[in-house]
Amino acid sequence: MVDPLAEVVLLLQPTARFSKNVIGAGAWQVHRSDAGQPFYCAVLEGSCRLTLDGREPLVLEAGDFALVPAAFGVTMSSLEVPTDTANALPVELSPGIFRIGDAEKPIDLRILAGHCSFGSQDAALLVSLLPELVHVRGEERLATLVHLVGQESRERRPARELILTRLLEVLLIEALRSNASAASPPGLVRALTDARLAAAIRAMHEQPARPWTVIDLAKAAALSRTTFFERFSCAVGMAPMAYLLAWRMALAKDMLRRRKVAIADVAERVGYASASTFSVAFSRYVGKRPAQYARESEDASQS
């Protein structure tokens, strides 16, 4: 059976950028604005605050894991509000280990934190299907995975990049499914907690070339057309056919980047009767013709 969440994560192509161990003491604050750079943090000891721009502060405790798939503005600070709101400067004690806050006070916080990148040119679209913030409490598996990512990123061992890629894929999937609930923000994760909607989404992913209609998808979900449309739009944050189009184009772009499939075959695999019809739809959605997109992707990978 096709797993839509796993498919999205695999298409994102996550890679490790930076991972570090941080120990803290006293009052401190760090603000970063890394547009599009996913951020993750596991608290091993103590507590701290995490605030996303425009959201209420979240207290992270020992055993908590937080993931921000698209970090547009993240502030981390001690529970004690610092009188000086300027950014604190972490001091590197040894490779991959940093200290923040008052050097004279006893350590009251230990965290593993890092950034990763998404290699997919569809990252913005795919990330839009995920929650803005994933917060999981008491899942030791996640802390272990983050620890392994940090350890692997600091060591130059054979197959390092392959191991990091696989670890990050597992980390993202584990974090997202651990956070899945009907109360999650709109997106794929929330929709997959609804058994009726999950059936329709799996059907789209299993047969992207099928000429789906809203009525067909409603039948797959065992719902009336109106109920399905409203329930899907509310849970995912976009209409069913808009999601289907986005997924088809994400698949098409992935195949074109790999340059192993002829355009006519790509068209057939994503539900278009001819290469010309697909080309028109692709050009309207992406802003360039399939052949041009494939050529530019190949040039970018070789530069």
When pLDDT is cut at 50, 70 and 90, the band that residue 252 belongs to is very high
212-238: average pLDDT: 96
Name the 3-class secondary structure at 196. helix
Neighbours of 195 (CB within 10 A): 9
**Using an 8 Å Cβ cutoff, are 121 and 300 in contact?**
no
Dihedral sign (CA 132, 164, 60, 108):
negative
Query: What was the pLDDT predicted at 207?
Result: 95
Does the pLDDT value for residue 206 go beyond 90?
A: yes
Average model confidence (pLDDT) across the chain? 86
The token pair that represents 33 in the structure block: 């604005």
Query: What was the pLDDT predicted at 36?
Result: 57
Does the pLDDT value for residue 302 go beyond 80?
A: no
Which residue, among 290, 260, 251, 258, has the nearest Cα to 274 in the 3D structure?
A: 290
When pLDDT is cut at 50, 70 and 90, the band that residue 285 belongs to is very high
Query: What was the pLDDT predicted at 217?
Result: 97
Neighbours of 121 (CB within 10 A): 17
